[in-house]
Amino acid sequence: MWREVVWFYLLLGPMVIMAADTEFRLYRPLTESAFQPKVHITAKIVGECWQQSQRIKREDAWHCVADNTEFDPCFVKPFGSKTEATCIQYPWSTNGIQITLTTALDNSQHVLLDMSKAFPWAMVLTNGKKCYSIDSNVLDDGMPVRYRCDEKTVLMGDIQRCNNPWKILQHDSVGYTTVTIAKVWF
């Protein structure tokens, strides 16, 4: 009997450890895959993009404005005319806005994506909550609020990347807890 129990834990242990790693995903605009739904363009408007996205630091992500509304992030294809930006609120969104630009964009001055240091654009926690980066100068207990999950839940401070899976501090109606991150999108 003990032999079966030992074999069970020897076989189950590595699977549990592997299943717990934080999963990394690179968002690819307008590309449908098993990890990313197809984006349907719901509106085409004229606008301008003038700086790198504030929500995700990668070379093809922009902060844009059109129809007196700010959009961040907006993605510009690395090849072609660079006169169209596709703006998607979350990586799991199925709808997006396409902004037609009056001049081609030059992203040569943008910070390149470094997943080891950059904050992800969005994440899913192991409890299933979906969280997205926000523009915020708000401090909570001296730490910057970086993500919103729902009306009562925010993620704050730095991501604990020392071990896999990654963790981050959560503040909700219950109080402060450390939560585990299942997936991140860059």
The model's pLDDT over 104-121, given as tens digits with 9 standing for 90+, comes to 999 888 999 999 899 999
117 within a domain of the structure (yes/no): no
**Of 42, 43, 25, 21, whose CA–CA distance to 34 is shortest?**
25
Confidence of residue 44 (pLDDT cuts 50, 70, 90): very high
pTM value is: 0.82
Based on the domain organization, do 126 and 181 belong to the same domain?
A: yes
Amino acid at 2: W
Residue 18 lies in a domain: no
Same domain for 133 and 90?
no
Of 55, 72, 101, the residue that ends a domain is 101
Is 150 contained in some domain?
A: yes
Assigned token pair, 25: 């995903």
Percent of the chain with pLDDT over 70: 89
Q: Quote the pLDDT of residue 8.
A: 42
Stretch (H or E) spanning 139: strand 139-140
Domain match, 57 and 93 both: yes
Domain-embedded: residue 83? yes
Q: What's the distance, CA 182 to chain centroid? A: 12
- Domain total for the chain? 2
For residue 86, what pLDDT is reported? 96
Residue 1 has pLDDT above 60, yes or no: no
- Domain residues for 175? 122-185
pLDDT tens digits, 146-159:
999 998 999 999 99
